């Protein structure tokens, strides 16, 4: 699996958009980008995934660059409940395990 690089931590003011970057410069053509988050000691929670087109769901938007070497997860209106560790992961096969890195610890500031 391709390796991803994320900032260790980020702050965002409540009500503002949180933009979490991820680099995956060695991603291959059949690998998808997935985002998960883990709120203090709970199980990892799926957020969104994409291949090359931008994606949006009720939780977030995923912007993938044209060369697919990086992506940004956008939480449009961050709340205190969005405080969590966010993981950017690349995955290819349907039965592929997910390998977690250290992720980005996002602090939402009141």
Partner 1 sequence: EPEVTQTPSHQVTQMGQEVILRCVPISNHLYFYWYRQILGQKVEFLVSFYNNEISEKSEIFDDQFSVERPDGSNFTLKIRSTKLEDSAMYFCASGGQGRSPLHFGNGTRLTVT
Among the residue ranges 12-20, 21-29, 38-46, 72-80, the one whose residues contact partner 1 (CB under 8 A): 38-46
Is residue 40 involved in binding partner 1 (CB under 8 A)? no
Among the residue ranges 11-19, 42-50, 55-63, 69-77, the one whose residues contact partner 1 (CB under 8 A): 42-50
Question: Site map for partner 1, 71-110, x if CB under 8 A?
Answer: -----------------------xx-xxxxxx--------
Sole binder of partner 1 in the list 38, 61, 72, 83 (CB under 8 A):
38
Which strand ranges, in their side-by-side order, compose the sheet holding 9-13?
A: 9-13, 104-109, 84-91, 32-38, 45-50
Tokens of 58: 């009720």
* Rg, C-alpha atoms of the chain: 13
23 close to 5: Cβ distance less than 8 angstroms? yes
Is residue 61 involved in binding partner 1 (CB under 8 A)? no
């Amino acid at each position: 699996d391709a390796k991803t690089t994320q900032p260790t931590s980020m702050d965002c003011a409540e009500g503002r958009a949180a933009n979490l970057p991820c680099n995956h410069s060695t991603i291959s053509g059949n690998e998808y980008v997935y985002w998960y988050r883990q709120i203090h000691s709970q199980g990892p929670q799926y957020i969104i995934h994409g291949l090359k087109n931008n994606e949006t769901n009720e939780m977030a938007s995923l912007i993938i660059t044209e060369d697919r070497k990086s992506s940004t997860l956008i939480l449009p209106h961050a709340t205190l409940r969005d405080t969590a560790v966010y993981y950017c992961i690349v995955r290819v096969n349907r039965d592929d395990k997910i390998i977690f890195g250290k992720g980005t610890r996002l602090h939402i500031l009141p």
